Each structure stands twice: as structure tokens, then as C-alpha cells.
């Protein structure tokens, strides 16, 4: 998972206006869209009938990224925005950084499936923010709790580790 700039998270946690929220959701849409071409390029580079496990795994990741893109687009529509997928697609540049320079050090390119592409690009995109079993820092948990509306009941999963 890519780390979103803390300034964006802070702005959303402090309560932002509708325009700022639309901008943040548009950034999410662009981010999800930008990950699909590298995965598809890797997938299409696999010879038909060979390495079917790798093909299936990459296809499942592409499907998840498309789902994320759809969910973010639906959220934008729900808050009165209009996702412009064509404009976002035209704005993508490979090799280059992800939209809004989400991870300044990551340069995403379109390349055949290889160990370097897998380790340096695919795994960097999918790397979780925390390690397995790691507990979120207390400061982040407090921020998340404060951002939850008082009348909504937290789910078991949202309080388990905080």
C-alpha cells in the first residue's frame, strides 16, 4: 500500500470542505488508475500457457485496482463530482512518479514481468504501511478516533488495534 502524504490526511482529519474532499477523491482515482497499466503490461508479457500462477496473481491484483478505481469514482459521484477518467488517463506518464507524487522515491514504468519490476514497482505499490501484527502508533489511533462521528458505532476491527 502506498503512503498518502501526511498533509493530505491531516487536512481530511481536520475536516475539509467539499471541494477539498473532491480533490482528494480525484487523487485517489488517479492513483488507482495509474497502477493498472504497469500491472497489465507485466501480465501481457507472460507467454500464454506459461507461468499460470503468476498470471492469475497479477490478474487478481489488476481486478482489485479496478475495483478500487470504481469505488473511488462512485464516492466522487455520490458527493457531486464527476470522474474524468479520460483526462486522468491522458495525464499519466510512464516512467514517472505516481499521481500527486504519493511516493516521491517510486518511479513507475511499463515493463515486462521481471524480478526488478516485481520487487521495485509491484511490491512497492502493494507494500503495507505497517508490518504484519504491528500496532498503529497511538497518535495515529487518536486521530482516527477523533475523526469518527460521535453517533457512529465503531466496528470491532476499527478498535481492535488502537
Q: DSSP assignment, residue 119?
A: I
CATH of the domain at 58: 1.20.1260
Does 161 score more than 90 pLDDT? no
In a domain, 1, yes or no: no
Q: State the angle between helix axes of 18-44 and 6-13 in degrees (0 to 180), rounded to the nearest 10.
A: 140
Average pLDDT, the chain: 81
What is the total count of domains within the chain?
Answer: 2
Report helix, strand or coil for 96. strand
Q: Are residues 91 and 108 in the same domain?
A: yes
The Cβ of residue 121 has, within 10 Å, a number of other Cβ atoms equal to: 22
**Strand ranges in the chain using DSSP code E only, listed in sequence order:** none
Q: What is the pLDDT of residue 127?
A: 82
Q: Which three cell numbers stand for residue 15?
A: 475536516
Q: Report, as an integer, the average pLDDT of 142-157.
A: 47
Structural domain span for residue 141? 131-162
The C-alpha cell 479520460 sits at: 86
Burial class (CB in 10 A: 0-12, 13-18, 19+), 38: buried
Q: What is the pLDDT of residue 157?
A: 42
Q: Report, as an integer, the average pLDDT of 7-20.
A: 73
pLDDT tens-place string over residues 44-62: 999 998 999 999 999 999 9
Q: Are residues 125 and 157 in the same domain?
A: no
Q: Which residue has the higher pLDDT, 30 or 2?
A: 30
pLDDT tens-place string over residues 71-106: 999 999 998 999 999 999 999 999 999 888 777 788
Q: Are residues 121 and 139 in the same domain?
A: no
Q: Report, as an integer, the average pLDDT of 14-42.
A: 90
Q: Report, as an integer, the average pLDDT of 30-36.
A: 96
Burial class (CB in 10 A: 0-12, 13-18, 19+), 25: buried
Q: Are residues 97 and 116 in the same domain?
A: yes
pLDDT tens-place string over residues 118-141: 999 999 998 877 777 776 665 555
Q: Are residues 86 and 138 in the same domain?
A: no
Q: Are residues 82 and 99 in the same domain?
A: yes
Q: Are residues 112 and 50 in the same domain?
A: yes
Kind plus residue range of the DSSP H or E element containing 34: helix 18-44
Q: DSSP assignment, residue 152?
A: S
In a domain, 152, yes or no: yes
Amino acid at each position: 500500500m502506498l503512503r498518502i502524504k501526511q498533509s493530505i490526511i491531516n487536512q481530511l482529519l481536520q475536516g475539509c470542505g467539499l471541494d477539498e474532499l473532491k480533490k482528494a477523491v480525484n487523487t485517489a482515482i488517479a492513483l488507482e488508475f495509474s497502477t493498472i497499466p504497469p500491472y497489465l503490461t507485466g501480465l501481457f508479457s507472460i507467454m500464454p500457457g506459461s507461468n499460470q500462477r503468476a498470471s492469475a496473481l497479477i490478474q487478481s491484483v489488476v481486478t482489485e485496482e479496478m475495483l478500487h478505481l470504481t469505488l473511488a469514482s462512485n464516492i466522487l459521484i455520490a458527493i457531486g463530482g464527476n470522474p474524468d477518467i479520460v483526462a486522468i488517463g491522458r495525464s499519466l506518464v510512464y516512467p514517472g512518479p505516481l499521481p500527486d507524487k504519493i511516493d516521491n522515491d517510486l518511479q513507475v514504468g511499463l515493463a515486462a514481468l521481471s524480478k526488478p519490476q516485481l520487487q521495485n514497482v509491484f511490491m512497492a505499490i502493494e507494500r503495507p504501511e505497517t508490518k504484519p501484527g504491528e500496532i498503529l502508533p497511538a497518535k495515529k489511533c487518536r486521530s482516527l478516533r477523533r475523526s469518527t462521528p460521535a453517533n457512529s458505532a465503531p466496528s470491532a476491527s476499527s478498535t481492535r488495534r488502537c
